[in-house]
Structure 1
Amino acid sequence: MLENKKDWKAWLYLAIPLFLLVVFTFYPLIKTILISFFSGYNPISDEFGNYFDLAAYAALAKDPYFKDAIKNTLIIVFVSVPVSTALAILIAVGLNTIKPLQKFFQTIFFLPYVTNTLAIGMVFSVMFSHPLTQGVVAEGLINTLFNLSVDWVGVTATYNNWMMVVLIYTVWSGLAFKILVFIGGLQNISKQYYDAAKIDSASPKRVFTKITLPLLSPIVSYIIITSLIGAFKSYEAVLAVVSNSNRLDPERWTAVAYVYDKINQYGFDNQGISYYSRGAAGAVVLFLIILVFTFINLYVSKRRVHY
């Protein structure tokens, strides 16, 4: 009887979170999947149309803008996530080692996490700016410091230039949270392991690879999974850093930018497919990609993570 009362109370406590999950997570997800199957969906009247088909997915497979958006997204994911994670571990180990001004440096490294993403992106855009007409506007900070005259993020910027700026920004902005989490993990590692390593005269490299990394592996796995998901959903950073006149050029789209562009249009394309259906199909494809990489990460974690 007592256990039944506890179950009832537990379900009561879970009622509101479950309701919010159903309304704001599961319902939109199911609705998006359904919309992607109906190429004639009308977002104004919320009518699905008469055709239950995969025309929106077939159109995505032939759309060069979507392919480029996926390529841009994958580059951001597979460059920024490993680089930022490795740097965060090294910085966290360094901060955990030093004692003077430790809290001060931790605060400095944490500042990007509590600063508006678009605001920081606009600062990066100004730093890497380059005037189209020489002498009218001053060069950006980077060009001035290194005595260059390169268009990094403007309308004439090459793919490699603007992508490099986006990657620098993505790595830098992602460091703050990772460093904070890794510092917390390092401070929870028992000192007895390091004391034993000192007795054995183990080198710092061996201590790092045989003690620190294995004991941090659960946190590393968590950081990689969350970072992968966040990087696949990149949009605000790219919009703030390399957009022109508050708009992203199609060749600079990420997968999320492609979806936003389509759902902001009303009507049908020249193939008779609703723009909203194309956007929904793009969102479902992105969801499946994230799901696949998450499961791969979880599978690898079972073999590599030490609890």
Structure 2
Amino acid sequence: MVEGKKSINFIRGILYLLPAIILMGIFTFYPLFNTFIISFKESYNYMVGSYKKIGFGNYAKLFQPGNSFFKFLINTMVMTFVSVPISITLSILIAVALNSIKSLQKFFQTIFFLPYVTNTIAIGMVFSIMFESRQGLVNSIIESLGGSSVNWLGGNPNAILLGTDVFKDTFFGAQWFTSLIVLLVYIVWNSLPFKILILLSALQSIDKQYYQAAQIDGTSKFRIFSKITVPLLSPQIFYLLITSFIGAFKEYTSVVAIFGANAQSIGQENNMATVVWYIYSYIKGSNATSPGAMGYAAAGAVILFIIIMIFTGIQNLISKKKVHF
């Protein structure tokens, strides 16, 4: 009797999940599997399904000298490993500060959350105007302090600002560095609201008795923060790290919002395109008509998928020791 009831409940559960499983199979698992297959088809023609042979030619092309994929991969890596730690750290500090404010807390929460509900392209246009080379707000401030204006979005190899001279004769160049600064500021600023909301909700759910006991013992605010607040926030921090790393590796919208269609053509030194930009260029962009374009795009997507899975796996291993569920 009991076993029969369990079987019925199991079948009922499967039936409830079946629509979601079917949709995931059609729109997630099949495209993913098909992308792996296409990535090995050299000179693949998507319209007729023909290809020259099965092999690693598409992957080999990605890392050939002169191919921009490696440069775009470096761009993506730098954006990820700079923007994510900065945004997470700032989010924690801002969330803690907001949680400690008694008056006007709702007002400041609204202010910090506004970017999350604002159109990304519109925000990008505002940033482009702020960093405009001639009349932008940032350059106006620099000039008022006695400095020289910088062509942030178009690059200025002669600019001496924040050590950009160090990069002038490197693989990337000062132009790349100045453009990167603008992009990182935008990415961090645009990613803060969601992180702050998650962390603030977690902070407000922490039992106040922990803090009261620490204060009775005379524990300093820094030790309370490092030994109580951060460990109790670790599940939320881990969640934000995972989602932020995945989102940063797939970065595309921010580049378009700041640089528009010029991200790949504003000069070799400050080319700010990402891996996703590269993939898109072979599907619908400037390289879509080249022979075997879909195969190159699929190979790039597979490499990006593998990189994301590796870093996600590493974070999962670290979380077993550092995250307090």
Common topology (TM > 0.5) = yes
Compute the displacement of 1:248 (Å). 5.4
Task: Give the counterpart of 1:213 among 230, 240, 249.
Answer: 230
> Over residues 242-283 of structure 1, what are the superposed CA-to-partner deviations in whole Å (9 max), with x where a residue is unaligned?
2355865472210100111112234445xxxx1111111001
Counterpart CA distance in 1 for 2:121 and 2:313 is 31
* Correspondence for 2:8: 5
* Correspondence for 1:134: none
Task: Give the counterpart of 2:91 among 88, 99, 122.
Answer: 88
1:6-45 to structure 2, matched below 5 A, reads 6-45=9-48
The letter for the 2-side match of 1:286 is: L
Say if 2:234 is the partner of 1:232. no
- Do the aligned partners of residues 155 and 146 (structure 1) sit closer, same or farther apart at CA in structure 2, a change above 3 Å counting? closer
Say if 2:73 is the partner of 1:56. no
Compute the displacement of 1:188 (Å). 1.3
Does the CA contact (< 8 Å) of 1:154 and 1:242 recur in 2? no
The letter for the 1-side match of 2:225 is: F
- SS of 2:227's equivalent in the other structure is helix
1:52-131 to structure 2, matched below 5 A, reads 52-62=54-64, 63-131=66-134
**Any stretches of 5+ residues in structure 2 without a counterpart?**
158-174
* Correspondence for 2:184: 167
- SS of 2:93's equivalent in the other structure is helix
**Any stretches of 5+ residues in structure 1 without a counterpart?**
132-138
The letter for the 1-side match of 2:98 is: L
- SS of 2:31's equivalent in the other structure is helix
The letter for the 2-side match of 1:196 is: A
The letter for the 2-side match of 1:153 is: L
Compute the displacement of 1:191 (Å). 0.7
Does the CA contact (< 8 Å) of 2:114 and 2:193 recur in 1? yes
Aligned residues: CA RMSD: 1.7
Range with greater deviation from structure 2 (242-251 or 120-129) = 242-251
TM-score normalised over the length of structure 2: 0.87
Runs of 4+ in structure 1 over 6 Å off:
none
The letter for the 2-side match of 1:209 is: S
Does the CA contact (< 8 Å) of 1:153 and 1:242 recur in 2? yes
- SS of 2:63's equivalent in the other structure is helix
User: Number of aligned pairs?
Assistant: 295
Counterpart CA distance in 2 for 1:180 and 1:71 is 31
